[in-house]
Amino acid sequence: MSWPALYAQLVGTNRHSTSLGKVWLSVLFIFRVMVLVVAAESVWGDEQSDFTCNTLQPGCENVCYDQFFPVSHIRLWSLQLVFVSTPTLLVSMYVAYRNHCDKRRILQGQEEELESLKKRRLPIAGALWWTYLCSLVFKMMFEGGFMYALYVVYDGFQMPRLVQCDQWPCPNLVDCFVSRPTEKTIFTIFMATASSICMVLNLAELAYLVEEGTGREEKPAAGRER
Amino acid sequence: MNWSGLENLLSGVNKYSTAFGRIWLSMVFVFRVMVFVVAAQRVWGDESKDFVCNTKQPGCNNVCYDHIFPISHIRLWALQLIFVTCPSLMVMAHVKYREGKDRKYMAGHQGSHLYANPGKKRGGLWWTYLVSLVFKAGFDTSFLYILYRIYHGYDLPKLSKCSLAPCPNTVDCFISRPTEKKIFMLFMVVSSAICILMCILEMIYLIGKRILKMINIRNENQRVVFADQHELTAITPPRSQYRRADPTLAESQLSLSKREKTEGRQKTTLL
């Protein structure tokens, strides 16, 4: 299971998304997963080996690195992307469940009906609307949560060039130098921006869904009035 | 053969699983295999290189590393994931065996089927499915226990002291990235626990459904036996009992039905 397999899973649910959802999926995979795999991982690749402290004391570098980088950016982003993609699987599970129920009802149906069942596009109404809404809410929660966690752990989105550490076994206050701080800052800001764009897309999709849902309720009421 | 090969192999099992089983499989592949491949493996990537002991004695690093990490977490998790996903193959094998038997029967008995639906969990397949669930939960639990025993309770100390030969005295050894490793260890332990819970829920669901079915069948049988053993009598007596004869009425006026009247007239003419 890796990024291409996850992409294959999520593309299958695209049929039941709104157009904003399709845009969101593309932004997620092109600007975040691809950038992570192709660029960001190489920038952070040597983060520990090139983390240098001004001391020969064995163990000081390990301890200082651990103090300033409890969780690497790369791992946080990978987890964020996995968690953010998961609510979409909720929607695909619901669609599979609906197809299974309908398949039972048309058990005596012909082959073409069963095939069209797999290829049909369910309208986003009723229980599917609620499932979709829940998935959007969870997506936004995970995005916001992980961005906040990154902000809190690293005191902002900027990577310092120099950190000072006096944890045992370092003999005194030693200067430790982070490798490629500017490049890391650029990528952190890029990923944070992409994450915010995804959140904005989710918000817009939420508003669109709510508007469509309430609009559908008003239309039959208007029809009744006439 | 790699994780995607295993995933392809197991995607066929979804047809024969319950809803719980499908959710379990998605959980395993998204939260455990994917996080393992994409994140956890990199965290442990440099564990041997960046394991540092406060000594220049050659060989001390190696010996202490070997003592502290008899088997790496990553290797344990890879083994755990392989063992935990394999019992589902038992179910697939049983279904394939049934399909083979069905085909042989069809060839010998002019197209009639032995199994209406080889994938339906009846009889032997139900037991195979239950046993596979027991194995899944069992493997997960035993690997969690092994991890607990080897690493003294899911602990990853920043500093460990080592005094094995050839280290000259008690040296301080430092692991690389202990906090990050601890975070991922907790993540993997929690997701294993959730998977074990789901297996147990699925077992309860399967057994409960079966017990309910047996109770229904027993009630149905009891009803049939009761109907067989007791003579069915009319709840209300026949109508004539309720008819009070009016002494002022003529004989012909007593009966209500035309047939009875014609019979009565015939009887009187015969007499």
Count of Cβ atoms closer than 10 Å to residue B131 Cβ: 14
Give the type of residue at B243.
Answer: R
Instruction: Mark out the alpha helices in B109-177 (DSSP H runs).
Output: 124-150
pLDDT tens digit sequence for A11-42: 877 878 888 888 888 888 888 998 888 888 88
Check whether the bond before A169 is cis (ω within 30° of 0). Answer: yes
Write out pLDDT tens, residues A154-171: 989 998 888 999 988 899
Chain A residues in contact with B53 (beta carbon < 8 A): 58-59
Q: Which residues of B touch A169 (CB under 8 A)?
A: 54, 172, 174
8 A C-beta contact, residue A37 and residue A112: no
Secondary structure tally for chain A: helices H, strands E: 9, 3
pLDDT score of A112 more than 80: no
- Substitution target in B6, B11, B23, B34 with the highest count of A β-carbons within 10 Å is B34
Mean of pLDDT values over A102-117: 66
Query: Closest-CA residue in chain A for B32?
Result: A1
Is residue B242 situated within a structural domain?
no
Let me know: does B46 contact A72? Beta carbons within 8 Å. no
Least CB-CB distance to A66: which of B4, B22, B178? B178
Closest-CA distance of chain B to residue A37, Å:
10
CB A61 within 8 A of CB A165: no
Domain with B17, as residue range(s), is 3-218
Which residues lie closer than 8 Å to B181 by C-beta, 6 or more apart?
A: B43, B44, B73, B156, B175
In a domain, B226, yes or no: no
pLDDT of residue A152: 94
Pick from A59-63, A127-131, B109-113, B240-244: least confident: B240-244
Tens of pLDDT along B39-49?
888 888 877 78
**Which pTM value belongs to this model?**
0.76
Partners of A70 on chain B (C-beta within 8 Å) are 179-180, 183
Judge whether B151 lies within some domain. yes
User: Are A75 and B42 an interchain contact pair (Cβ–Cβ within 8 Å)?
Assistant: yes
Instruction: Give the residue with greater pLDDT, B232 vs B155.
Output: B155
Q: Do A48 and B176 touch (CB under 8 A)?
A: yes
Write the CA distances from A101 to A97, A134, A142, B95, integer angstroms: 6, 22, 31, 23
Cβ–Cβ of A66/B53 closer than 8 Å? no
Q: Which of B247, B251, B249, B248 is nearest to B267 (CA)?
A: B251
* Phi-psi category of residue A108: left, alpha or beta, with phi > 0 → left and psi -120 to 50 → alpha: alpha
* Cβ–Cβ below 8 Å for B183 and A72: no
CA-nearest residue of chain B to A65? B177
pLDDT of residue B271 exceeding 50: no
Question: For residue B104, what pLDDT is reported?
Answer: 86
- Burial class for B169, CB neighbours closer than 10 Å (0-12, 13-18, 19+): exposed
Does residue A87 contact residue A21 with C-beta atoms inside 8 Å?
no
User: Which residues of B are less than 8 Å from A57 in CB distance?
Assistant: 54
Mean local confidence (pLDDT), B222-243: 74
Please write the tens of the pLDDT for every residue from A186-206.
899 999 999 999 999 999 999
Provide, as residue numbers in chain A, all residues whose Cβ is less than 8 Å from the Cβ of B49. Answer: 49
CA gyration radius for chain A?
24
* Domains in chain A with CATH codes: 22-109+116-213 (1.20.1440.80)
In angstroms, the CA A157 to CA B99 distance is: 59
Chain A closest-CA separation from residue B5 CA (Å)? 9
Amino acid letter at A71? V
Cis omega (within 30 of 0) for bond into B168: no
- The first and second tokens of residue A46, run together, are 């040597």
Pairwise CB contact (< 8 Å): B3 & A169? no
Please state the domain count of chain B.
1
The rounded Cα B215 to chain-centroid distance in angstroms is: 21
**Residue B264 within any structural domain of the chain:** no
Alpha carbons B49 and B47: distance in angstroms, whole number: 6
Whether residue B233 is contained in a domain is answered as: no
Give residue B53's identity as a one-letter amino acid code: C
Question: Has residue B248 been placed in a domain?
Answer: no
Q: How far apart are the CA of A78 and the nearest CA of chain B, in angstroms?
A: 7
Amino acid present at B99: E
pLDDT at B28 over 90: no
What ipTM was predicted for this assembly?
0.72
pLDDT tens-digit profile of B93-149? 888 888 888 888 888 877 777 777 777 777 888 999 999 999 999 999 999 999 999
- Of A115-129, A206-220, B257-271, which range is least confident? B257-271
CATH number for the domain that contains residue B195: 1.20.1440.80
What average pLDDT does the structure give for chain A?
Answer: 85
pLDDT at A130 over 80: yes
Q: At what angle do helices B19-27 and A73-105 cross, to 10 degrees?
A: 160
Nearest-CA neighbor of B77 among B192, B181, B180?
B192
Residue B133 lies in a domain: yes
The sign one gets for the Cα dihedral B253, B257, B263, B266 is: positive
**Whole-number Å distance between alpha carbons of A102 and A86:** 25
Looking at beta carbons, which residues of chain B come within 8 Å of A49? 46, 49-50
Write the residue in A58, A70, A82 that is nearest to B52 by C-beta.
Answer: A58
Average pLDDT over residues A98-120: 68
In a domain, B256, yes or no: no
Mean pLDDT of B262-267: 59
Say if residues B113 and B105 touch (Cβ distance below 8 Å).
Answer: yes
Chain A and chain B share a number of CB contacts under 8 A equal to 100
